[in-house]
Amino acid sequence: MFGPSEAELKRARRLLLSELRRKGITDERVLAAMEKVPRHLFVLPEYLPVAYEDRPLPIGAGQTISQPYIVALSTQALALTPEDRVLEIGTGSGYQTAVLAELAREVFTVERIPELSREAQERLGRLGYRNVRFRVGDGTKGWPEAAPFPKILVTAAAPRVPPSLLAQLQEGGRLVIPVGGRFDQDLWLVRHEGGKAVYEHLCPVSFVPLIGEEGWR
């Protein structure tokens, strides 16, 4: 079976980057990270020809790799610095993890499905990422031993912001999370300012559910 050539994949990735710019992504560091991370190595082989289309794709176990625009928008909203430690809930394929790992000092990522976490670990290991720590479990409880975090990203949809995650966000920190119903939600940037949570609406989204003690049961 013949798939797309390296040159075709590279061209498709460049076109995706132009599309992200057209849709309003302006952070050059985020765009550079997404130009560097090879999304086609994070999708199932049958989706290789559409790896650089701006849409979510199945990754097995009933889960998805997120739409590139949403990855870009979420990452941009986190305003990462090279010194940041980031907590990510929902490792999935590890694609968003890799984008975070390009921009931050250390990424702590939690996935509830062991096989997805294992595959993501292998993939990121092969790609040379050494600043990612993986955990299998219920991410709605966060990663208490490594808290507080200046940045937290949740890549599955919650019925409300899990209180444990809010508690693990440091003062001045940023949390990005989809919140809403089972099928349709809104992506929120939550800033922890002066002991209060300040909410900024980013856009409507449709994510798979965050399943756990402080998510969907």
Q: Which residues bind ligand SAM (CB under 6 A)?
A: 59, 63-66, 89-90, 92-93, 95-96, 110-113, 116, 138-140, 155-156, 207-208, 210-212, 215
- Nearest approach in angstroms of CB 59 to ligand SAM is 6
DSSP 99-168: HHHHHSSEEEEEESSHHHHHHHHHHHHHTT--SEEEEES-GGG--GGG--EEEEEE-SBBSS--HHHHHT
CB of 2 to ligand SAM, least distance (A): 26
Q: Which is nearer to ligand SAM, 171 or 213 (CB)?
A: 213
Closer CB to ligand SAM, 60 or 172, in the complex: 60
- Residue closer to ligand SAM by CB (options 149, 207) is 207
Give the active site residues: 66
What does the alpha-carbon distance between residue 142 and residue 154 come to, in Å, rounded to a whole number? 10
Smallest separation, CB 210 to ligand SAM (Å): 4
C-beta closer to ligand SAM: residue 112 or 174: 112
What does the block give as tokens for 163? 């209180």
Are 43 and 93 spatial neighbours (Cβ–Cβ below 8 Å)? yes
CB of 195 to ligand SAM, least distance (A): 27
Is-contact 205 187, C-beta < 8 A? yes
CA distance linking residue 140 with residue 158, whole number of Å: 9
Do the beta carbons of residue 90 and residue 111 sit within 8 Å? Answer: yes
